[in-house]
Structure 1
């Protein structure tokens, strides 16, 4: 089995531990199920998962894309750095009658052989790993030549991209070399990461209509209680009441600006699909 080694320094191990802990905060499985349940299924349709495909969902979380891929007939491995999310996904899969393999794995050093999968995808997951090029390298490596790669990522200009920009002054400092997650929502950035290793690239912007929040404050309080990165930002400034109040204000103001009426919002994403190029043809 060939893998791309991840850095094994104390700093890297500490970084991975912080990421696992952050995504275990709150209740991300509820966030995914409550707000974006259709997003993973849309990606599965776009990469045309069919019966018998070997499928890998990278940074799968609780299975937003992995479970629909299994229900479409794929032989699915759901991989994520956070075991708590995989446990929640396994329970959700059982409720829906989906059978798949759940494995702890780092998107920057996937524990799978070269060319193992027909389809490799990630739905608002891989974008949160700090080293984008490592992740792209790994996704290409484990895809067979001619296999399909599919991504859904929040755009920098959309609501979630703006939310991360709003939280940045209050959040812990990113590790050296880390790139902002919403860059994965820029087509030029993704094309640069993959280069000529992919072909038949198709991209489109879409939006998820969110209608769960009656007020901007209700949105803020939901994310404050359930979404790991938001919880981490609040914990980082917990000792400074003025900063806590400022973060409260900024998140509510952002939601108010996107309010379409009654608390409904559109959250923009980029969907990109491609095929892994055959190295012999390049």
Structure 2
């Protein structure tokens, strides 16, 4: 599996971030009109922030993630919840080799497939495995957006070495023109694609400095940024910049963290 992101997402423990995303994940899924018995693929699923709510609505859900530790965590959560209609397996969103054409009524990817390499391949694969008359729903962070995650990624990039030649930034999935180009390349007509900005909220029962600590210790991009900053004697500078960001974005007061982040919701209808 030739995906350079595997090491990135196995580097930390994204479950420590995912617990702050559960409520918004459930709200997003509950707004999709999922009917019992439909087949759902959750790409870049992590440990099930959207897969578990979809299964709770009665869908048959397969979660696919590049990181083996997150797949294991997802299967453990599904087993603990007694969900026989949910399973997780390792896989690459840019090459779903073991998934047949027209397998799913809904392909869902919330802040997941956007991080996979080869975005044109990602779009083609999502379309390929979706049944005619089905839907693809993505949540993608928006480049340059002033809210939390886009700014974390922007700040982190300023402290890390330049990416390899040919690298396509994940946040380019947050640009509507790119979305149309990528799904258009997979045969989807422009009028079958919609893009709308929506809000996702991170919640933590403690001050924003604690949430920043989780990102520093467990989120691959910020872990890499701190390692590079430490090597260059800029660790305190990076810490101060991120601390100011988290404090400024927090709407929960001094002892509770509630930080909204804007994302692009993409809905694609397959014919």
Please indicate the TM-score interval, normalised by the length of the shorter structure: 0.7 to 0.9
Aligned length: 261
Structure-2 change in CA distance of 1:39 and 1:132 (3 Å): farther
TM-score by length of structure 1 reads 0.84
For residues 17-75 of structure 1, give each alpha carbon's deviation from its aligned partner in whole angstroms, at most 9, with x where no partner exists.
Answer: x4222212332112112x11033333433432212211111111111111112121111
For residues 211-237 of structure 1, give each alpha carbon's deviation from its aligned partner in whole angstroms, at most 9, with x where no partner exists.
Answer: 427555333322111212211222233
Alignment of 1:154-169 (within 5 A): 154-156=141-143, 157=145, 158-169=147-158
Q: Matched residues in 2 for 1:131 and 1:42: separation?
A: 30
TM-score by length of structure 2 reads 0.87
Structure 2 residue aligned with 1:210: 202
Q: Which runs of 4+ in 1 moved over 4 A?
A: 213-216
Structure 2 residue aligned with 1:24: 10
Whether 2:30 is the aligned partner of 1:45: answer yes
Helix, strand or coil at the partner of 2:149: helix
CA apart distance, 1:174: 2.2
Helix, strand or coil at the partner of 1:237: helix
**Unaligned 5+ residue runs, structure 1?**
1-7
For residues 177-211 of structure 1, give each alpha carbon's deviation from its aligned partner in whole angstroms, at most 9, with x where no partner exists.
Answer: 22222222233321221125155434332223334
Structure-2 change in CA distance of 1:217 and 1:46 (3 Å): closer
CA apart distance, 1:85: 0.4
Q: Matched residues in 2 for 1:56 and 1:46: separation?
A: 17
Task: State which of 234, 237, 241 in structure 2 corresponds to 1:250.
Answer: 241
Q: Matched residues in 2 for 1:214 and 1:82: separation?
A: 28
**Unaligned 5+ residue runs, structure 2?**
none
Structure 2 residue aligned with 1:185: 174
Q: Matched residues in 2 for 1:175 and 1:190: separation?
A: 23
Q: CA RMSD in A?
A: 2.1
Structure-2 change in CA distance of 1:161 and 1:141 (3 Å): same
Alignment of 1:124-163 (within 5 A): 124-156=111-143, 157=145, 158-163=147-152
CA apart distance, 1:266: 1.5
Helix, strand or coil at the partner of 1:264: strand
Structure-2 change in CA distance of 1:204 and 1:38 (3 Å): farther
Task: State which of 80, 94, 101 in structure 2 corresponds to 1:108.
Answer: 94
Helix, strand or coil at the partner of 1:134: helix
Alignment of 1:44-63 (within 5 A): 44-63=29-48
